[in-house]
Amino acid sequence: MVQQSIDFLVSSSGAAWLVNLQIKALIVLLLFLSLEHIIRGKLSSSARGLFLTMAYVSVLVQPLSWMFAGLLSDVLLVPSVMKFSFDVIGSAEPVGKTLDAFALLYLFPVMILALRLVFALSRLGSIKRTSKPASDTAFLALLNNSKHRLEIARPVQLSFHAQVNSPISFGLFAPQIVLPAQAENWSSSMAEHVLLHELMHIKRFDWLRLLLAYCITILLWINPLAWLLLSRTRAVVEEACDEEVVLVEGDGADYAQNLVGVARLCRSASLNKVGLAQSMLEHSSLKLRIHQILEAKKMPTQELQNQCNKVLMFSCVLTVVLLLGMSGSQNVVAQARQPENTSAVRNREFLPVHTVVPYYPTEAANDAIEGWVQLQFSVGTQGEVIKDSIEIIDAEPATIFNASARAALEEFRFTEYAPDGFPVIVPNVQYVFRYKMTDEN
């Protein structure tokens, strides 16, 4: 499956698919980022964080637009009938796939960024293994009390690490909070606020949210809006946690004071940033967060929930509209290009890339019988022959070569037919196998 995906991406069809995906992602991200800028200051940070997360979801579902394009039109851009012939006594040279320069240039940074992601995950695993589990009863009591206040049922591990200079949390099924080693000397109030902040990340599944954001940014690395969205998501996630902790605590002044205190204590140590772990102390946004904590109007929990529900509904509707709109435009473009593409697919693009020479039936060879078989079939989205679609259109003699021709055709593979970058099923393809005797037979 992985090899097939790579082969597709480096083919001309794959390159077209990548360009199409990047264009759609550009449109989606531009729209979501513009709307987020408009609602900034009007909606809560939690609602804006949810809206930015839905931007990633919208990007993820855009590749499915080719499926909707098929639903919007009864006829996709496919030729009505294509005929090929194949002489059994000969063997066709497989048509090699052309490596597309754009696809290769695109995939190289993807692999580098993916390796960085793997390294970051490995480093988190190392931190988890080498951290010192919390044993102080007062700290553990604060952790359990904070979990109870936030209604978190999942087990959460608390530990300390000398090389972590800012509180971090990570993990999905067994989340972990790692504090700097000096945190064992923090005041009870400061430790409680830090734990509430990190537990809020865990409750909101922010680590999973950011992991999804990183993965999509890797795929869209060439798009500057993807990096802008990642930066905005990281910032808004922290603001949302601050906002919800203040709702629990009821007093933003004490929380802001402790946040500044932790920043001052941790600033004395050299910053050792851990990738894929959201740091509580992002100094670039700390000043703005403090201002928002002190100045923001406190919103009732129910109102905050209602706001998030409305944003979620609006985001889903917007995603569906974008999906259907892009599907419709893709289908219209395909219909408009049909005459040109039909000719191209017959003459150049839609060719077998792997052929199998049918066996010559023993009975026919012994009796020096020659003949031919004409078959009709459909080619799937990955260039495979759909076995259930194979039909014998005509044959001479009527039956003797049919099984041989069918068995060989099932192993054939074709270039994917991808109008506007999205592979589609091609029906009504016809192939003729000609069985001829030679002097050696």
Do 137 and 234 lie in a common domain? yes
- Sheet strand arrangement including 157-161: 132-133, 157-161, 176-180, 168-170
Look-up of token digits 């499956």: 1
Q: Which residues, at least 6 apart from 348, have a Cβ–Cβ distance to it below 8 Å? A: none
| Residue 299, both tokens | 């919103």
How long a stretch of residues is the chain? 441
Assess if residue 46 is contained within a domain.
no
Q: Are 238 and 285 in contact (CB under 8 A)?
A: yes
Q: What pLDDT does 213 receive? A: 94
Q: Specify whether 283 is located in the same domain as 387.
A: no
One-letter amino acid for residue 193 of the chain: H
In a shared domain, residues 275 and 166? yes
pLDDT at 273: 57
Yes or no: say if 392 and 375 are a contact pair by the CB < 8 Å rule: yes
| CB proximity list for 354: less than 8 A, separation 6 or greater | 94, 411, 412, 413
- Per the structure, the count of domains in the chain is 2
Question: What is the DSSP secondary structure assignment for residue 116, as one 8-state letter?
Answer: H
* Maximal CA-CA distance, the chain: 98
* 302: phi then psi, degrees, rounded to nearest 5: -65, -40
| pLDDT for 328 | 53
Residues 280 and 162 in one domain: yes
Q: How far is CA 44 from the centre of its chain?
A: 27
Question: Do 237 and 123 belong to one domain?
Answer: yes
Q: What is the pLDDT along the chain (441 residues), one digit of tens a residue?
A: 455 455 555 555 556 667 778 888 999 999 999 999 999 888 999 999 999 999 999 999 887 655 454 444 433 333 434 445 555 443 333 333 444 566 678 888 999 999 999 998 998 999 999 999 998 898 999 999 999 999 999 999 999 998 888 899 998 888 999 999 889 889 999 999 999 999 999 999 999 999 999 999 999 999 999 999 999 999 999 999 999 999 888 878 899 898 888 888 876 544 455 566 666 766 557 788 888 888 877 778 888 899 999 999 999 999 988 888 776 554 444 343 333 444 444 444 457 888 888 888 888 888 888 899 999 998 888 888 999 899 999 899 988 899 989 988 998 988 877 766 677 788 888 888 888 877 554
What Å distances lie between residue 168 and 15, 139, 156, 301, 369, CA to CA?
39, 16, 13, 25, 78
Nearest to 195 by CA among 131, 259, 264: 259
Position 231 in a domain:
yes
- Residues 250 and 131 grouped into a single domain: yes
CATH code of the domain containing 413? 3.30.2420.10
Report in angstroms the alpha-carbon separations of 164 from 5, 67, 129, 270.
Answer: 39, 47, 13, 10
Give the closest residue to 67 by CA, choosing from 428, 380, 424, 415.
424
| pLDDT recorded at residue 336 | 39
Residues 126 and 274 in one domain: yes
Residue 277 per-residue DSSP state: S
Q: What is the CATH number of the domain that holds 232?
A: 3.30.2010.10
- pLDDT for residue 339: 36
* Amino acid at site 290: I
Q: Is 313 helix (H, G, I), strand (E, B) or coil?
A: helix
Residues 289 and 357 in one domain: no
Q: Is residue 337 part of a domain?
A: no
Residues 6+ apart with CB under 8 A from 280: 166, 167, 168, 194, 197, 198, 238, 259, 262
Residues 6+ apart with CB under 8 A from 203: 150, 151, 152
Name the residue range of residue 165's domain.
105-299
Give start and end residues of each alpha helix (H) in 131-250.
137-150, 188-203, 206-219, 224-249
Q: Are residues 362 and 420 in the same domain?
A: yes
Residue 263 and residue 362 share a domain: no
In sequence order, what are the residues at sequence separation of 6 or more whose Cβ sits closer than 8 angstroms to the Cβ of residue 369?
363, 397, 400, 435, 437
Spatial separation of the C-alpha atoms in residues 286 and 272, rounded to whole Å: 17
Q: Is residue 200 part of a domain?
A: yes
- Domain for residue 131, yes or no? yes
pLDDT at residue number 286: 77
| All residues at 6 or more sequence positions from 182 whose CB lies less than 8 Å from its CB, including other chains | 265, 266, 269
Closest among 194, 196, 170 to 183, alpha carbons compared: 194
Question: Hey, what are 149's tokens?
Answer: 């206040």
Can you give the pTM of this predicted structure? 0.69
From CA 275, how far away is CA 270, in angstroms rounded?
16
Same domain assignment for residues 271 and 174: yes
Residue 239 lies in a domain: yes
Query: Is residue 211 included in any domain, yes or no?
Result: yes
- Round to whole Å and give the CA distance between 280 and 262: 9
* Domain assignment of residue 259, yes or no: yes
How crowded is the C-beta side of 430, counted as CA atoms within 13 Å?
A: 13
